Chain A
Amino acid sequence: MSRTMFRVLTAASVATALAFAANAQQVGFSPLDRTDQKKSKQDLNLKGHPTPSTMTPVDKLPLDKLSLPAGFKAEVWSHGHPGARTMVMGSKGTIFMGTRVLGRVYAITDRGGKREAKVLLQGLTQPNGLAFRDGSLYVFAIHQVFRFDNIEDKLDNPGEPVDLTKAFNLPDTVHHNWKYVAFGPDGKLYVQVGANCNVCEINNATHGQIRRYNADGTGMEIIARGVRNTVGFDWHPQTGELWFTDHGRDWAGNDGPEDELNVIAKGNEGAFFGFPYCHANGVPDPDIRIPNACAGVTLPAATTGPHAAGLGIKFYTGSMFPKEYQNVAFIARRGSWNREQKFGYDVITARTDGAKATLAPFMTGLLDEKANAFHGRPTYLFQMADGSLLVSDEQNGAIYRISYSTPGATKK
């Protein structure tokens, strides 16, 4: 769709919203948003947790809280990079790390077994979307798209990027639009476009999607619709199918609708995943009601917990972990805010079987259920060449490395 057409559509929807505001008694947060908080019967003072933009000293990192299955061990791999989220690796071994509000992209290099983190880019708007291909780093910051060629030769001075913003033509609405992006096995660049509200009627042509593009921003196709906010996806190593996490809506109760783990089965590209009418495992929306809300909706492979905020997902293909972890997905759950009793703040596994998945705990301990408090927030995962798994912790600006050796030999 052309830029002008998008503008016209946006203008039209804003105009409708204004007319609505003038005529009707407003129920939701805003004229567009249809959230009826009172109906949720939740504590109406629930609010997002602050994310520090300052460094957490290394001795304050919650390493001793982390608990893993026997034989697994966690250590601090790097720290001192506030806002730690997405991780991708360059072909020369640099870990690039994206953030949200802090607007930084870090470059983390390994210098003789010690990690050095430097601020590579700053002043961007929520550069959560990173991808690497053929020497180039792709940076997605809401609707802005930049490509830094030969970046690993220019870590001290990345220079001017190629600006691909126009080519990708993404909406500039910010909410739920910090991007997750990744190259698929088909060489295409897959891009998230979230719903810019808690719950509202979205324009299916522009929001609530996963898209794929050629690397230069041409050839856009919408491969999933009705997706509220996916912030992580990965391809199954054997089937090649795309699995993605998706956050359930807020303010419809402490216990749901739960978050989702979805799969786009072969031949089901372009499928509708239900937002805003149908959530989780077939729960009709309480605020936007339509008849047969779940008809024609592709339901999730598994629900991943109420308000748990599943972000990064990575299918394990390394040789370090025991055999039973082969092709098992790890999912980082950042943890709830819209729930009276906190939930998540961990890493779980998802064993997939066709279009279904079974979940189990993996890395726990960051949630103190008794105190209803948390010590860290896992966001993304990265598998290293040696088969160890990196987990980023946004709250503490750190990366933990999880390794395995046969029990008896080492113990955590």
Chain B
Amino acid sequence: MELKQVLQSWWRPLVLGLAAAVLLEGATFAQTMPIAERAKLCGACHGEDGNSRMPNIPSIAGQPEFFLVHQLILFREGVRKVPGMNELLNGLKDDDLIALAKHFTVLAPKSSEEKLDLALVKRGEALVEPMRCASCHLPGLEGQEQMPRLAKQRIDYLIHSLKQFRDNRRSGADTLMSAVVIGVSDDDIAALAHYAASR
């Protein structure tokens, strides 16, 4: 388990770097690129159909449009930082970002191939009720407006992002999410992630 974590954290920047190097070649002319082609560049990391097959990279298929637009603006502005992705959005207008969001919001979300731990799913189920995840993310955890879809999201990314909120490392976020997970243990975060991904 520990080894896996080290590996993941070690090779994540490498993967991003490689993908970025290939993509950035086209980045200057990317500003005038038609939307479908631009979305293909995103697919290199997020999966062509918006469902990511790469560790710690989120699926973006079927996310609420408002959430996508808002987060894309935060990436363009450099509030949220991802090497290789920020550059792709450089100089894009709000309308371009809205078009990208419209492209991904209608794609069908699919579960990743990560293995669900059913005991954790059960533990997570007991936690979401008192922690009221559904009040914002909706009962099916499909998200709404500024609240992202959690259902069918990658488990590793859910864990990663919950820790970011807990440890005050997710820039630009609505801080309500930090208030929700402050003081939550790593084990409980894993349980919440397995449950959410299983929806």
List A residues at the B interface (Cβ < 8 Å). Answer: 14, 17-18, 20-22, 26-33, 37, 44-48, 50-51, 53-55, 101-104, 122-126, 142, 172-178, 196-198
Contact = CB atoms under 8 A, between A and B. Distances in A.
Nearest to B98: A54
13 contacts: A20-B183, A26-B127, A31-B184, A32-B183, A48-B176, A53-B73, A54-B98, A101-B74, A102-B73, A103-B77, A104-B77, A125-B79, A197-B182
The 4 closest A-B pairs by CB, nearest first: A123-B78, A17-B183, A103-B79, A31-B183
A125 B127 CA distance: 30
Nearest to B73: A53
A176 B147 CA distance: 19
A173 B77 contact: no
A176 B188 CA distance: 24
B131 A30 contact: yes
A154 B80 CA distance: 26
B9 interface: no
Nearest to B139: A45
B172 A125 contact: yes
B70 A53 contact: yes
B171 A103 contact: yes
Contact of A172 (B66, B145, B168, B179): B168
Interface in B86-140: 94, 98, 127, 130-132, 135-136
Residue from B130, B179, B180 with most neighbouring chain A CB atoms (10 Å): B179
A142 B178 CA distance: 13
A26 B191 CA distance: 15
B74 A53 contact: yes
A14 B81 CA distance: 27
A211 B64 CA distance: 40
B165 to A, nearest CB: 9
B54 interface: no
Given A21-B188, A125-B79, A176 B135 contact: no
Contact of A21 (B78, B145, B184): B184
Nearest to B137: A47
Nearest to B146: A50
A47 B135 contact: yes
A37 B132 contact: yes
B28 interface: no
Contacts of B42: none
Contacts of A102: 73-74, 77, 79, 172
B90 to A, nearest CB: 12
